[in-house]
Structure 1
């Protein structure tokens, strides 16, 4: 479901492109047309709700043929659109860009979720400013966890925070007294042990080689029931190896940062 904020963002994306008019579209005779969006490759779909909203907001009639989160094959029809040609020309490229980006992320997440199963996969905050809410939604449609939506959602103590707060033990005591659940980032087995002993509820193993991460997971499990996240440098090529260490989840910046857009085309009928 689109929130009011998401709707405003979508309208602003279109306005960025057509606020001063479509000088090319204005040349063609005004008439009613029909069109459809089709895939040029297999993918996990995302962005259908957003694209339908954009088209309908501009007076076009939309019939969706697939749902967000559904798998699509090459040449599948995703939706049909009808209405004034100029309205379609004004919104077509923005709409396809959004669906391409969101479906690319959903597809990457779906493949990562398959490789890591049963360990959960999460995206990170390596997202596009202004578009993050849609990228996080696409990740969830691809069966990944969204991680933190923004900086207000949960405390994540990174190295610079821990250094300024006097180390993991002091920081853990200060945060736990006021906030309860939080996460701390560690980069060595020794730091992982210190975090577990300090009672950190969620421990992130950041940029650890496989062997070191394996030792850290084992040490944390001995100390208690902290949830374990492995992050940093995780790619589709090494994901299965890290997932085999049985953390609670693996987070991957590449799922949003490096996701390739899915190729869609608009075909007039």
Structure 2
């Protein structure tokens, strides 16, 4: 895949600097012990996975004066093989700097690669079932770490969904209860969002979906339906409103790699998965100084 680094915002390197600040707020005692002798360290992947987080890993070591050389490309799938570890990259620099960047870089890489690995597995499931819809992540991200998690979702090959509250207007049950109805919520949202922002409405029944469509919603989220239920509801909505209103249908609510297949209906345009970023196993990496 082509590099996604150019997508990153101008402030992403400040976030990397904050990781280093957090890990060494005062003195680097261990670094004092090893000194500044030039050393080489190798990054090993120790579990099957998809490599993600390369720009962030590079920047950790760039900020402390080390150089990284990669043996794999971002987005590559890898296996540790019979030895239990695969050489993924080489990092060169002063010994104390290698150890200074080790833990922030590995923590980030382990989580980013875990997210990309889960995303890739869902993408393969979609392909196996010849479903044309989109697999999407959600806004269920770690505070302060969202840019890495959304980036990793893209590396894994899925749609990142909305980045934040300003990216799209999603009206969920609390918005609807607070305003009294779906119609009121959509009307107020459109008054401030204008033509540029899409409006998505969470619906728990076909009747709620009908109200949202009539109110002008762009995306109908059918929440917590089962597989047959979402297929039937989506088919009814697409048939009922054909040629009258344009909208997309998204399925969401408790979807996992294990239970998603029945939801991959041709009438459903998007399936969103909180499990891409929540409860995802990390991929084990280690950084070992050559000696």
Question: What's the TM-score, normalizing by structure 1?
Answer: 0.94
2-structure distance, mates of 1:246, 1:35: 51
1:227-238 → structure 2 map (5 Å cutoff)? 227-238=248-259
The alignment status of 1:185 with 2:206, answered yes or no, reads no
2-structure distance, mates of 1:19, 1:170: 50
Aligned position for 2:139: 125
Aligned position for 1:215: 232
Aligned position for 2:65: 59
The alignment status of 1:49 with 2:55, answered yes or no, reads yes
1:26-105 → structure 2 map (5 Å cutoff)? 26-74=32-80, 75-105=85-115
The farther-off stretch of 101-110 and 170-179 is 170-179
Gap regions ≥5 residues in structure 1: none
Aligned position for 1:22: 28
The alignment status of 1:163 with 2:177, answered yes or no, reads yes
- Deviation readout 1:191-229 (Å, 9 max, x if unpaired): 122222333211011111223212221122121331011
* C-alpha RMSD over aligned residues: 1.7
Aligned position for 1:205: 222
2-structure distance, mates of 1:32, 1:170: 65
- Deviation readout 1:141-168 (Å, 9 max, x if unpaired): 1011111111111111111212232312
- Deviation readout 1:80-125 (Å, 9 max, x if unpaired): 1111000011110110010000000000001011112332111111
How many aligned residue pairs are there?
A: 269
Question: What's the TM-score, normalizing by structure 2?
Answer: 0.87
From 152, 168, 175, give the equivalent of 1:154: 168
1-structure distance, mates of 2:183, 2:233: 17
